[in-house]
Amino acid sequence: MSKISLINKALTLVGANPITNINDSANNARIVNRVYEISLKSILSECKWNFATKRRLLSLSTDTLEWDYTNEAYVYARPADVIRIFGANDNNAIWREEGNYVISDTSGLGIIYVYYLDEPTRYTSSFTEALIDKLCSDIAFMIINSKSMAQGFLKKYNEVSLAKATAENSQIGVQQTLRDDAWSLAKSGNESINA
């Protein structure tokens, strides 16, 4: 499905006229142009989408911080296309995002993250359905002045289409599981917690 086909499906579902180009001067095109990227970034941030995931070794930033916490030896440049970071290449690394940086105690830090992917031909069908519902909820009030329709599509997005897309996404490949942390292991008697 092309970007325009996706957008036109959303416009049709809310009862609006389709467009031929997102950069047209037509009212519907201008409205969709204002909300499309925001809607897409919003849904991309919801899950570690398999089709929009990257691994990258980070580059050290040339900037220096005015001050730092103990063990913050490395300041990395955060990749510009990051939507949401889900993990690092070193399970024991301490890291955090701060503005345009990823700050860590670990040398050679790599991250796995969801990036901004605006190529609908690479989306799964369930993700496309969820994105269409998200767009419908975002444009319904602006285009046809229907608060109830916007709320209905938002409810469908949250309760049906997003849930279906994330469930389908989690069933692709070998399932990833969270590591047990010290608290969980101590609870089962496998590791003690040092206070």
Q: What's the pLDDT tens digit per position in 73-121?
A: 899 999 999 999 999 999 999 999 999 999 999 999 999 999 999 999 9
Question: Which residues, 6 or more positions from 168, have their beta carbon under 8 angstroms from its beta carbon?
Answer: 124, 126
Residues 11 and 68 in one domain: no
The number of domains in the chain is 2
Residues 113 and 123 in one domain: no
Residues spanned by the domain of 128: 3-47+118-170
Residues 42 and 136 in one domain: yes
Residue 194 lies in a domain: no
Residues 16 and 98 in one domain: no
In the numeric block, which tokens belong to residue 195? 């206070």
Residues 58 and 145 in one domain: no
With contact defined as beta carbons under 8 Å apart, do 51 and 123 qualify? yes
Last-in-domain residue among 117, 133, 162: 117
pLDDT in tens, 134-185: 999 999 999 999 999 999 999 999 999 999 999 999 988 776 555 666 666 6
Residues 42 and 129 in one domain: yes
Residue 96 lies in a domain: yes
Residues 36 and 122 in one domain: yes
Residues 126 and 113 in one domain: no
In the numeric block, which tokens belong to residue 173? 């490949």
